[in-house]
Amino acid sequence: MAAVEKPAAVLRAEELVERDMSGRDASHDAAHALRVRDLALSLAAEEGLCAPDRLLTVELAALLHDIGDYKYTKDNMEDMSVVDAFLDELGLNEDKKGQIVAIIKGMGFKNEVSNKLITEHSLEFAIVQDADRLDAIGAIGIARCFTFGGSKNNALHDPKILPRDNLSKEKYMSKGEKQTSINHFHEKLFKLKDMMKTEAGKRRAEKRHKFMEDFVAEFYEEWSGRA
């Protein structure tokens, strides 16, 4: 079967991702954006979303979702300027551009960290968000967690530093408070399985979640010298 030709907008988005996200640590690099795109398209197929126009929204939002990530800006604020300019250059109509921007702005864990779950969302939003969260858990998620922690010189584990409960959006986004990599599992990663919005995402999250649980249990056993 011949390969399906990618839309020109997607090819240009891939180029932007490779260019803009180069030099980042491997937790949020171009490969992450490409994996999220591939996951999103796979979830879309399972969810029966097949309209080319809607798939373009999914694919562009997935590819561009971390371009202005606050974790990589000096002022700790999301910067949508590059994405906005790129979408304008593509000549998308305002409705399409608005859909893509809304997905990117609303999909982050920080927006639900205080248990303020989003009750209304499009299928496109749910697919892209679930894809991003799937890439945060399981074997890849574990690798990304420790890669990011290492880039910030965080300790693997410190029994004196406990996982934070009832985090606010501001507290979660803060760069000033030193944390450990293992605490990130308790503060975020273990919560993602129950935050999936699509049935396809929920199914896939089960296996990845169990893999993380087994890993963390073994981590504590080895840390304590019991294993």
* Rounded mean pLDDT for each run of 10 residues along the chain, 227 residues in total: 78 97 95 98 98 97 95 83 96 95 91 63 96 98 97 96 81 75 96 97 98 98 93
Please count the other Cβ atoms lying within 10 Å of the Cβ belonging to residue 71: 16
Burial class of residue 176 in the structure, from the number of CB atoms within 10 Å of its CB (0-12 exposed, 13-18 middle, 19+ buried): exposed
pLDDT at residue 31, rounded to an integer: 98
CB 50 within 8 A of CB 92: no
Which residues fall within 8 angstroms of residue 118, CB to CB, at 6 or more apart? 106, 111, 112
Quick one: pLDDT at residue 175?
64
Contact 131, 197 (CB under 8 A): no
Q: Which of 219, 214, 113 minimizes the C-alpha distance to 159?
A: 219
pLDDT of residue 117: 52
3-state class of 30 per DSSP?
helix
Q: Do the beta carbons of residue 114 and residue 168 sit within 8 Å?
A: yes
Answer whether 35's CB lies under 8 Å from 135's CB.
yes
Q: Choose among 82, 70, 124, 72: nearest CA to 102.
A: 124
What DSSP string runs through 82-127?
HHHHHHHHHT--HHHHHHHHHHHHH-SGGGTTTS-------HHHHH
Which tokens sit at 210? 């169990």
Whole-angstrom distance, CA of residue 110 vs CA of residue 147: 20
- Domains within the chain, CATH numbers bracketed: 8-222 (1.10.3210.50)
Rounded Cα gap, residues 184 and 104, in angstroms: 22
CA 189, CA 134: separation in Å to the nearest integer?
10
Cα–Cα nearest to 196, from 67, 99, 109, 89: 109
